[in-house]
Structure formats: C-alpha cells, structure tokens
Amino acid sequence: MERSFAEGGERALEGAFALHGGLVYTFCRRAVGESLAEDITQEVFIRAYRNRAQFKPERGTLAGWLIGIAKNRIVDHFRSEQRHASRRGGHEHAESAVESQIEQTGERLIIAEALLRLPERARSVIKLRYFDDLTHHQIADRLSMPIGTVKSDLRRGLAQIRRQLESAHE
C-alpha cells in the first residue's frame, strides 16, 4: 500500500484514506474540534497526494507521514487564528504551547497506531513494560517466554514505533 501511494493513482489515494483517514481525522478533531476536522483532514490527503513523490516508504510509514502533514496544517491554522485575533485586538495564545500540545497529541496517536500494527506478542511485551512497568524478568515469567525473546520483541517493537515517529517529523 505504501509503495503504491508513492507511485500514485486515484486508487492509492482511496486506499490511503481508507487505511488512515480515521487516524488523521481523530488527530484533527482533538486539535481543532469537529467543525474544522473534516476540512483539515481533506486538506491533508490532498496535500499528501500532490506531494506523494516526497513520501519515502523506506524512511517511515504512511501513517506517520500523514500525521506530520496534519500537524503542520493544524499549526498553520492556529497561527492564522492568532494573526486574526491580534488584528482584532484579541489575546494571543502562547504559540509554542499550542504547537507542543499538537505535537504530543500527534505522537500519542502515532504510538497507538503503531502498537495496533505490531504482532500481538510484541504489543503485549511493550504494554507490560511501559504501561504496567514490569521488568524483563517479570514479563518473561508472566508470558512464559525466554528473557531473550522478551528483549528481542521489545527492541523490534520499539524500533517500529520509532520509525513511525520519525516519519511524522520529516
């Protein structure tokens, strides 16, 4: 799917939207509310399609790349709103705080999406390690797995999540 998106075609856009439209919309809705979320989501996919040659599957996932585009579009929206507010004599919000909040929301969604895409065993290991704060030995005991397998699953799963986060920051 990701390679076909980079190569183009209307079906590629439809497929990307079918796979990742919900993720992008959720991110936009959390950042700007329902009234603007649909418009920004559409803009994200239009921009992504127009700039599809810039997407490099070997550098990260399509989901991460789309969230990166969405973050930029949302930040642009808030900057525009701040310019309009300052012209009207309104109070300016701290731009860096808004951008930081958008960044954190985007990263949480990318991590959640990446976790869903992991094999069940790796997802379980990561959840036990980072959500339940268990040690490698405790995870191995709980899942009846060798400690080396726990460490390998953890390392590979985190690498996959890292690739998605990196693709969102490009």
Query: pLDDT tens digit string along 127-156?
Result: 999 999 999 999 999 999 999 999 999 999
30 lies in the same domain as 76 = yes
Counting the structural domains of the chain, the total is 2
Q: Which of 29-33, 91-95, 120-124 has the lowest mean pLDDT?
A: 91-95
Report the alpha-carbon distance of residue 135 to residue 141 in Å, rounded.
10
Report the alpha-carbon distance of residue 22 to residue 116 in Å, rounded.
14
Which residue is listed with tokens 């808030």? 78
pLDDT > 70: percent of the chain: 85
Q: Does the pTM of the predicted model rise above 0.85?
A: no
Contact 68, 11 (CB under 8 A): no
109 lies in the same domain as 138 = no
50 lies in the same domain as 95 = yes
Last residue in a domain, options 117, 135, 156: 117
Report the alpha-carbon distance of residue 84 to residue 92 in Å, rounded.
10
160 lies in the same domain as 79 = no
46 lies in the same domain as 102 = yes
109 pLDDT band (50/70/90 cuts)? confident
133 lies in the same domain as 61 = no
82 lies in the same domain as 21 = yes
Which residue is listed with tokens 């693709």? 167
83 lies in the same domain as 136 = no
101 lies in the same domain as 29 = yes
Domain residues for 128?
119-170
Report the alpha-carbon distance of residue 45 to residue 22 in Å, rounded.
12
61 pLDDT band (50/70/90 cuts)? confident
73 lies in the same domain as 8 = yes
Question: Which CATH number characterizes residue 110's domain?
Answer: 1.10.1740.10
163 lies in the same domain as 87 = no
Contact 157, 123 (CB under 8 A): yes
